[in-house]
Amino acid sequence: MKKLSRRSFSGIAAKGILGTTLLTNMPLAKAFTAKPINKKLGIALVGLGSYSEHQLAPSLLETEHCYLAGIVTGTKEKEGIWKEKYNLSKKNIYNYDNFDTIAKNDAIDVVYVVLPNSMHAEFCIRAAKAGKHVICEKPMAVSVKECDAIINACKENNVKLGVGYRMQSDPYTNEVKKYVKEKTFGDVLFVSSDAGYISNGNPDQWRLNKALSGGGALMNMGVYAIQTSIYGTGQNPISVSAQEFSTRPDYFKDTDETITAQFKFANGAVAHMMTSHNANGNRLKCHCSKGWFELDPAHSYGPISGRTSNGNTIEFPFKKQQALQMDDFAKHVLLGSKNIAPGEMGKRDMIIVEAIYKSIAEGGKEQTLSLGDLGIVS
């Protein structure tokens, strides 16, 4: 796959394709008072596009075990804006060329890579070599081979690796997992999951550029539907078949627009997923032998909403998923707690993504999946 250089990417970013205007100033992070942990981890965000700007940075004002300590950006103008807004030290501000010197900075414990997908592997590996723990935004990479390279680099440099699967930290997700594990509504027989939105933005945005994104709706929203299909059944699939649909080829010139896929599981359960950049979808429904349960919306930043066949609603107090996610990773680093979204999970999902693309290329032919040796289920 052809990749763009860091300089080319910086040029695209400078034209405004990767980000939007910064929000108004926000209050400083709350003081850390939790007694079991005597320090907060400093996180550096690599890439200051929309997700870092509107979700991750504000969430780091609400985290208990980590905080925004630094940034890495290819846009000079953003350095001063973020420095002032988040009271960052000048020594904690980097660009893509001097990034490797972050190894000498003890104020940075974790590097969160939030760049376009094709750049994940390079910067995750560079962060690992710099001795920093790594969070890689989803999808983990553009190929299984790159996932392996990231995992190996983190192991070789004795640093922790997590994938930015915010939903794995969301209480609604954990409630679904509980229903499945405890068979609250009996055995899960069929799972339906939709994840998509209608894209009408700049046709030159990086998500529509395969060299940067590695794919379209499947690489972006599709991983949510893959994940819900898995934790909605509590198993990894044993096979998948898939179909692709295009209704706006003039806009989606380089990437997939809409994909549907069907999974089979060893216990006889089946699942259907839909992902799209041209149709709204935000739902998970599990049909069981003794009822059903659903989340609708299921994948958005919140609040999520759920219902069950017994007339109950699924409700939890709202907290930013990204704050929960980053705190979970910080506790994994500081306390050795479970890594709820390890690199192996990102690799598993990329194995499934590649199988879906292969099925489409072969006219919807069913593809066998061998995922048991990864040690990752939901």
- Active-site residue set: 138, 224
- Supply 110's token pair: 């974790």
What is the rounded distance in angstroms from the CA atom of residue 69 to the CA atom of residue 89?
8
Nearest to 52 by CA among 111, 124, 132: 111
| Phi and psi based region of residue 16 (left: phi greater than 0; alpha: psi -120 to 50; beta: remaining) | left
* Single-letter amino acid code for the residue at 22: L
What is the rounded distance in angstroms from the CA atom of residue 331 to the CA atom of residue 40?
10
| Spacing of C-alpha 328 from chain mean position | 14
Q: How many helices (H) and strands (E) does the chain have?
A: 12, 15
Nearest to 215 by CA among 177, 255, 185, 175: 255
CB 42 within 8 A of CB 109: yes
What is the rounded distance in angstroms from the CA atom of residue 307 to the CA atom of residue 309?
7
Would you state the torsion angle of the CA atoms of residues 240, 245, 251, 255, taken in this order, to the nearest 10 degrees? 20
CB 293 within 8 A of CB 179: yes
Omega prior to 171 cis, within 30 of 0 = no
Nearest to 240 by CA among 126, 345, 362: 362
What is the rounded distance in angstroms from the CA atom of residue 76 to the CA atom of residue 137?
23
Angle at 42 between CA 36 and CA 44, to 5 degrees: 150
Omega prior to 297 cis, within 30 of 0 = yes
What is the rounded distance in angstroms from the CA atom of residue 154 to the CA atom of residue 283?
34
Q: Supply φ then ψ for residue 360, to 5 degrees.
A: -60, -45
What is the rounded distance in angstroms from the CA atom of residue 165 to the CA atom of residue 227?
9
